[in-house]
Structure 1
Amino acid sequence: MIRIGIVEDDAGAIERLLSHLDRFQRAHGEKFHVGAFHDGADVIADYRPDWDVLFFDVQMPRVDGMTAARRIREVDSEVIMVFVTSSPHYAVSGYEVDALSYLLKPVSYASFEQEMTRVLTRIRRRPRRELLFTATDGAHHRIGVDDIRYIESVRHRIDLHTLDTTFSIATTVKAMEAELADCGFMRCHSGLLVNLRHVTGIEGSDCRIRGGGRLPISRPRKREFLAALAEHIGSRGISA
C-alpha cells in the first residue's frame, strides 16, 4: 500500500488534499494509507523513512516545509516530495531537496490528479520486494513485504498482518523468518515476527505497532530485539 503524508498547518488545506486523495482512489482504483502532520516539527520528530510521498506546505509556524524537507532528505533519499504553496518562487528551492514538483494553492483536482499520476509512475519504477503465497482458503496473493506489520503464530498456521487486513497461511514463523531474513524483520517473542519499519515505540515490555496495538517482547529476546531496532533506525533518527 502506498503511504502518503500531508505536512500542513491549515486544516482547510488538509481537508482539500484528503478530498482529492479520496476522489483519486475511487477514480483510479488505488488504495492509500494517509497520515497528516500539522507542522514540519511533527514530521521530523522520530522520522523513519517509510513514507512513499510527502506533500509539504512551505510556510508553517515552528519548522517550515523546506527546512523539514532538507532534514528528511538527509536520511531518506527515496521519499517523493511535492510542495503545496501559494508562492511559486519556492519552486526553485525545491530543487535543493530533489522535490518532484509543486502545486499552487488552492489546489484544483485537475492539477492534483495530474501530479498524483506522475507520483505513481515514479513509485512503480522502483524495485519492490513482494511476497507470493497461498492463503489457507486457497486464494493466491501477492503483497509488498514493506506492507507486512507483523507475523503471528496461531496453532498450525501463521497470521500475516498488514495495515488493513490479515492473511492466514499454512506455514511457520521460523519458515517466514528465513524467507524474510534480509527484509528488516525481528522476533520479539517466540511466536511473533515484527517488521521493524512498523515499530513506533517501546513501552515497558511491549512494542507499539503502526496501525494500533502492542506486541509483547519476551525477556530472553528483549536485548537482541532492542539492538536490532536501534540498528534499524539509529543513523536515520532526526531530532527536532
Structure 2
Amino acid sequence: MNIAYCEDEKIQKEILEELLCRWGKVDLVWYESAEQMLFECDGRYPFDLIILDIQMRNQNGMELARQIRRDDPQVPLLFLTATKEYVFEGYEVNALRYLIKPIQPSQLFAILGEIQASTKRSILLNGNRIDLNALVYVEAEAHYCHLVFEDHRQKEKIGIRELKTMLDDSFVMIHRSYLVNIAKVDQIRREELSAGSFTLPVARSQLKTVSEAFIEYNKGISL
C-alpha cells in the first residue's frame, strides 16, 4: 500500500511509521509541509491513502486537502489531529475519517483494512489510479493502450501485454489488440462480442477461452 503523510513534526511521523510497520507492508512518503507536498506532487497523487495533520505551520492540512481535491476528487483522505475543531470541515473535502491523536491502533488498522480491500480492484498506471470495476476494455495502438470506460477513454503509454500482467483474471485477451473485462460482456458471437454499448472483435483462436471465461463468471454470479 502506498501512503503519503503530511506532518511537520518528525516524532509524529515516527509514531505513525511504527504503527504502519505493525499493520503490514506499507510504502510511506513523508512531506514536512503542505507546500512541499503540493510542489513535489504537482497535481498528481498516486497514493492509496493520504494522511494529513491539520495543525501545521503555514498552510494547514484542511487548506491542503481543498487543494488536493481540486486535482483529485477520489484519493482517500484521512485527518490526524489533536483537536475536534475541524471535524465538520472534513465533510467538505469528502474525508474518509478524522482520527484524534494519540492514534488508537485499532481505529487506524480498521481504516487501512478498508483501503486495502477497496484497492484490490484498482491499479496505479503512470501515476493515475484505474478503477478496474469501471474499465470495459483495452485497445492497443502501437506502444500505447486506450483504456475505455462507459463514459470516457484515456490513452496510456504501455504495451497491452505488459498491461495484462497488471490486471486480474477478469480481463481476458479476445484479440491481439483487445482485452475485455468479462464482467462487462453481455453476449458472445462467433466473431464478436457485445459489452454494454460496445461491439468488439473476437479472434477465432480466442473464442473458446473467452466463452469459457464468460460461462465461469456468470456461473459465479448465479450462485
Tell me if structure 2 keeps the 8 A contact 1:91–1:101. no
Note if 1:146 corresponds to 2:125: yes
Q: Distance in 2 between matches of 1:13 and 1:108?
A: 13
Structure 2 spans left out of the alignment, 5+ residues: 128-139, 148-153, 163-223
**Alpha-carbon shift at residue 110 of structure 1 (Å):** 1.9
The 5-angstrom pairing of residues 73-222 of structure 1 reads 73-124=69-120, 127-128=121-122, 144=123, 146=125, 177-179=143-145, 182=154, 184-185=156-157
In 2, Cα distance between the equivalents of 1:16 and 1:37?
Answer: 15
Shift in Å at residue 51 of structure 1? Answer: 1.8
- Whole-angstrom CA distance in 2 between matches of 1:183 and 1:20: 38
How far apart, CA to CA, are the structure 2 residues paired with 1:12 and 1:34?
Answer: 15
Q: Percent identity?
A: 25
Greater RCO structure (CA 8 Å; 6+ sep):
1
Residues 61 and 147 from structure 1, CA distance in 2 versus in 1: closer, same or farther, beyond 3 angstroms? same
Partner of 2:5: 6
SS in 1 for 2:95: coil
Q: Write the letter of the residue equivalent to 2:34.
A: G
Measured after TM superposition, the shift of residue 147 of structure 1 is 7.5
Structure-1-length-normalised TM-score: 0.52
Larger Rg computed on CA atoms: 2
TM-score (norm 2): 0.55
CA offset at residue 12 of structure 1?
0.9
The alpha-carbon distance between structure 1 residues 111 and 180, as it changes in their structure 2 partners (threshold 3 A), is same
Deviations 1:123-172 (A, max 9, x none): 34xx52xxxxxxxxxxxxxxx46279xxxxxxxxxxxxxxxxxxxxxxxx
CA offsets 1:5-45 (integer angstroms, 9 cap, x no match): 001011111011111111111xxxxx332100011111112
Counterparts of 2:124 and 2:31, CA distance in 1 = 25
Q: Which runs of 5+ in 1 are unaligned?
A: 26-30, 129-143, 149-173, 188-192, 194-240
Change (3 A) 1:117 1:145: closer
CA distance in 2, matches of 1:99, 1:146: 24
Aligned length: 141
Q: 1:59-104, CA deviations, whole angstroms, 9 ceiling, x for partnerless residues?
A: 1112100000000001101110000001023211100000001111
